Amino acid sequence: MQEYDEIVRKKGLPNVGQLVKSKKYHTIWRVMEKREVWQPLEDDPATKEPRWTYAIYLNYWRVQKDMEPGMGKTMGFLYTLDDNTFQENWDILS
């Protein structure tokens, strides 16, 4: 749980129900799911053992007129402490 809180705090990730806007396409999305996951990394070069890092998965639903929540386009992304993809691609609206 400590890793989860650290990623949320450092990356400024939204909570379920919040709206975000794509910086590239200017479309509005609602966060529908937020969960803890493990993201695979490259195998350890010395031991050839698999390695994993802690991540948070966010599932987004595109907000459109006349479309009920959960119906229509959805997509999900993983966020770790080592990337800045959320800050580069999204603005939190609410």
Any idea where the domains of the chain sit in the sequence? 2-92
In angstroms, the CA 8 to CA 34 distance is 10
Strands, E assignment, 1-94: 19-22, 28-41, 51-62, 74-79, 90-92
Extract the tokens encoding 30.
């609602």
Structure tokens at 33: 């799911």
Q: What is the pLDDT of residues 34-92, one digit of tens each?
A: 999 998 888 888 888 888 889 999 999 999 988 887 688 999 999 999 889 999 999 99
What is the model's pLDDT at position 1? 63
Give the residue among 33, 56, 52, 32 at the shortest CA–CA distance from 42.
52
Q: What is the mean pLDDT of residues 14-32?
A: 96
Using left for φ > 0, alpha for ψ between -120 and 50, and beta otherwise, residue 66 falls in left
